[in-house]
Copies of this chain bind each other. A is one copy, B any other.
Amino acid sequence: MAQASQATIGDSEFDRDTAVTRRSEGVYDLDLAAGWTIINAVNGGYLLAALGRALADALPHPDPFTVSAHYLTASQPGPAVIRTELIRSGRTLSTGQASLFQYDDQGREIERIRVLASYGDLDGLPDDVRTSAKPPAIPPVEQCLGPQDAPSPLPGNSAITDRLMIKLDPSTLGWVLGQPSGKGEMRAWFGLADGRDADPLSLLLAVDALPPTAFELGIKGWVPTVELTVHVRCRPAPGPLRVSITTRNLAGGFLEEDAEVWDSADRLVAQSRQLARVWTG
């Protein structure tokens, strides 16, 4: 029964909410769904996935290999338009640009995010793997905790948590009890709540979906992303992902968040780094 009701890639909440409609060559309309908001803003990873979907249609190659996003203004649920440009088309890689706009009261476009991205074909890559990276040490999912396990609603708990299966490593949950570890680490099992398996587009969401590492550094304020770059290294195998995020350097009111995403086959499927501002309330 659970199997029968499981959402699939292409037929899921995530696919519907990141769907784009081609208005004209390289221009796509979409509607930012309220279900992906965190506090008052639309989640940056969800926005990146929508931009990634538009670029997958606009570019000659299907899969994001590296996507660099600079966040300009906070997105709100509602209508948006993505304008893309093909910069270069090569044999194995193509590079494009995309901007997501929303509208002000006068209907004028306001740019929310601008990205540069290089796309390729993950299925066309050789199988060679020479890696020294090790999967994160996360307890079995049964021993990890999600929002529904919290005695009281989690700080930062928001609509997006209903869309996601996030089970956090208890050793990175000190902040929930007001006892942050002081280590800039956040680790979790990650999936989509409707059971849809991961694909390269949902990896763009996965790297920016956990609570900020800043919480474990004792920071309660907002940590807005300035820039986020994702490398998709491998098509993820079916099953839950493990996401590990690390912050080593909080200085001058900024911090970096390094994310690794591992699939059920123990492959490092995505790496990301973002620069975020720290608003100490």
Contact = CB atoms under 8 A, between A and B. Distances in A.
A215 interface: no
Interface stretch (A37-45, A46-54, A87-95): A87-95
Contacts of A226: 65-66, 93, 118
Chain A's interface size range is 35 or more
A126 B65 contact: no
B116 A253 contact: no
Nearest to A184: B132
Interface in A110-128: 111, 114-118, 122, 125-128
Contacts of A131: 248-251
A18 B89 CA distance: 29
Interface string A76-95: 00000000000110000101
Contacts of A254: 65, 125, 231, 233
A264 to B, nearest CB: 17
A68 B65 contact: no
A227 B68 contact: yes
Contact of A275 (B66, B115, B133): B66
A261 to B, nearest CB: 12
A138 B73 CA distance: 42
Given A68-B68, A131-B248, A273-B273, 18 more contacts: A65-B254, A68-B227, A70-B95, A70-B116, A95-B114, A97-B114, A125-B253, A125-B254, A126-B252, A127-B252, A130-B250, A132-B248, A133-B249, A233-B249, A233-B251, A248-B268, A249-B271, A271-B273
